[in-house]
Chain A
Amino acid sequence: MTASSDVGYHAQRQARWHYGEAAFWLVVLACGFLFPTRYLIMTDILRLALFAMSLDLILGYAGIVSLGHAAFFGVGAYAAGLLALHGIINEPVLALIAAGLAAMVLGFATSFLVIRGVDLTRLMVTLGIALLLEALAERFSNITGGTDGLQGIEMQPILGEIPFDMFGKAGFFYSLTVLFVLFLLARRIVHSPFGLSLRAIKNNPLRAAAIGIPVNRRLIAIYTLAAFYAGIAGALFTQTTAIASLDVFAFDRSADLMLVLVIGGTGYLYGGLIGAVIFRILQEVFSTITPQYWQFWIGLVLVVIVLVGRQRLLRWVLYVPNLVIKQVAGRKAVVAAPESDA
């Protein structure tokens, strides 16, 4: 087997659907029917998962550390809110796409700033952009509603057929559909030659450039795409909660998102989804124990995760499942530790 066909073989093997993945989505769908009283929090998790997936696209696949991903979330949220409030686009799905595109435009414009410089500069620039947008939203409070946020948003039925109900059932299945569709798209992208070239860039930009990958253009493309995803997540937030306030831009949101991704693992799309579930459960547990000080425990979790090491932690967590798989199926573990990030 030649080297190139070998690489192609492995890439294709990875891209194939596993039974585990199908099972994962079936479980998610089943949750929608099993816990009819918990739609609100489950919708929240789906939203967070989509947002985390968006960060994973740039952090896990392209290696861009961003502290201001909430900027795109916020733009999406406000765009969806304003569109609905002023009745410009009443139909939620169209409004969702429009909001995503708005975030995408911002992502494209700012990507030129982000691809310059090293990690620290990127951190600062992304953080700065998010803060700038927050300041702008506060400044133009006649449009954004300032600290009170946009009020009186009324969502029209989805596709003109399915109205949002007060239990959040429609919102949940709507969010799930959006998440699944975007997941399929992301899955296709990261397994495409384009996605593989991103990994090459992440591992070594210099080498990637040497073998003919246009590094900057690829980074701009993925950053723009991630902005689109984050914008959709933000728009979902507004559409399912009918609120958009200044805190969509908050630093905490970007920081929490990092935690979600760290819990779930970067560099494979399920990381954000699993991380979102665990994060939200942790947050619930902590806030029932100490309503005011849950942030302390969240911080502690972060510190411990980093100190123990994400790789090691993942090996511990996967130890039992992999052992079971080995015994039952008699083959190598399906769930392997994702690549480390640089």
Chain B
Amino acid sequence: MTSILTNLFDGVAYGMLLFVLACGLAVTLGLMNFVNLAHGAFAMAGGYVCMVLVNRMGWPFFAALPLAFVSAAAIGIVLERLLYRHLYARSHLDQVLFTIGLTFMSVAAVDYIQGSSRVFINLPAALQGQFDLFGVGIGRYRLMIIVICGLLTIGLQMVLAKTRFGSRLRAAVDDPRAASGLGINVPQVFAFTFAFGCGLAGLGGALSAEILGLDPYFPLKFMIYFLIVVTVGGSSSITGPFLASLLLGIGDVAGKYYVPKMGPFVIYTMMIVILIWRPNGLFGRTAAR
């Protein structure tokens, strides 16, 4: 019984992490219908920035996290303005090729700068180990992830639902043409959102070094997970990707624990079945884009 709860807890932490990593991609796909396979590269950038700051420069972990966000967002906005925006109107094939190219470049560049082995971020002692809560083993680090990601999710939902920027963004997602006709600067909204999504990915990358493992192949290894979150969750709201991430996280942890021999088999099968059943995602709109 307690092992089920511990697994559930780990799964939730994993899922929340995936959500933070992938929600930027949901916006990219939903708003501009842009297939960004390089999303993991931003996460990796954030992770490595955090690692360098903490391990090499001796920054405290919690001070390095915001910087992971900022640096990934900065890289994101530079790339968006320089490269990405030329490709919004192109075919999906072009977008796929372009972002695969970026992914390859990021993998090789990080390999060149930091070496190909897995890196670890030195965690403060307060985050290590686990404690018992009514007999359920709770990892401190995972608890922190749930707290941070939970707060972020609530914050995101509030921004989207309550603020002016949120309503502009929702308008632009719903119908970019009508939105720009109403005087909303859609490219600007998108650039901000893109950078913010990259920043979140960077933060997620920094947080995930401990759980998912951080090495130069991170963008390729987890690309499929991000895409699953987005395609299964749909891109019309953030609730969809959130639920999809939790489902994926819990499913993956449970799958690895209870049927370790099946490996990632469970996840891929689930994804294919869901996509066949609802091509626009479990929580997506019914209209095809």
Contacts and interface: CB of A to CB of B under 8 A. Distances in A.
A342 B263 contact: no
B105 interface: yes
A306 B104 contact: no
Interface string A119-163: 111011101110110011011000000000000000000000000
Contacts of A125: 272, 275-276
B145 interface: no
B272 A299 contact: no
Contact of A129 (B112, B263, B272): B272
A265 to B, nearest CB: 12
A303 B272 contact: no
Interface in A306-342: 306-307, 310, 341-342
A65 B227 CA distance: 16
Interface string B186-201: 0000000000000000
Q: Interface residue tally of chain B, by bracket?
A: 35 or more
Interface residues of A, number: 45
Interface of B: 29, 35, 83, 86-87, 90-94, 96-98, 100-109, 111-112, 220, 223-224, 227-228, 231, 261-265, 268-269, 271-272, 275-276, 279-280, 288-289
Given A120-B29, A296-B109, A67 B269 contact: no
B53 to A, nearest CB: 24
Given A131-B268, A303-B83, A342-B91, A121 B97 contact: no
Contacts of B90: 306
Contact of B231 (A65, A124, A294, A296): A124
A324 B28 CA distance: 46
A67 B96 contact: yes
B268 A303 contact: no
A53 interface: no
B35 A123 contact: yes
A299 B96 CA distance: 12
Contacts of A281: none
Interface in A92-142: 113, 116-121, 123-125, 127-129, 131-132, 135-136, 138-139
A306 B87 contact: yes
B41 to A, nearest CB: 10
Nearest to B266: A135
28 contacts: A65-B93, A117-B279, A121-B231, A121-B275, A121-B279, A121-B280, A123-B35, A124-B275, A127-B224, A132-B272, A135-B265, A135-B268, A136-B265, A139-B265, A255-B104, A258-B97, A259-B97, A296-B105, A298-B104, A299-B101, A299-B102, A299-B105, A301-B101, A302-B101, A303-B101, A303-B105, A306-B94, A342-B91
A134 B289 CA distance: 31
Contacts of B220: 251-252
A59 interface: yes
A262 interface: yes
Contacts of A65: 92-93, 96
B86 A255 contact: no
Nearest to B264: A135
A76 B268 CA distance: 21
A113 B272 contact: yes
Nearest to B94: A306
Nearest to B265: A135
A123 to B, nearest CB: 7
A295 B104 contact: yes
B98 A139 contact: no
B107 to A, nearest CB: 6
A121 B111 CA distance: 31
Contacts of A262: 97
Contacts of B268: 128, 131-132, 135
Contacts of B86: 307
B224 A139 contact: no
Top 5 closest A-B pairs, CB basis?
Answer: A302-B101, A299-B104, A296-B108, A117-B279, A299-B105
Contacts of A305: 97
A127 to B, nearest CB: 6
A120 B35 CA distance: 8
A163 B49 CA distance: 56
A138 B265 CA distance: 10
A209 interface: no
Contacts of B91: 341-342
Nearest to A258: B97
B271 A124 contact: yes
B108 A299 contact: yes
Given A135-B263, A255-B100, 14 more contacts: A65-B96, A118-B289, A135-B265, A138-B263, A139-B261, A139-B265, A258-B97, A259-B100, A296-B107, A299-B101, A300-B101, A301-B101, A303-B98, A305-B97
B231 A59 contact: no
Contacts of B223: 251
A337 to B, nearest CB: 16
Contacts of B271: 124, 128
A293 B112 contact: yes
A116 B279 contact: yes
B83 A307 contact: yes
A124 B92 CA distance: 13
Nearest to A129: B272
A12 B277 CA distance: 43
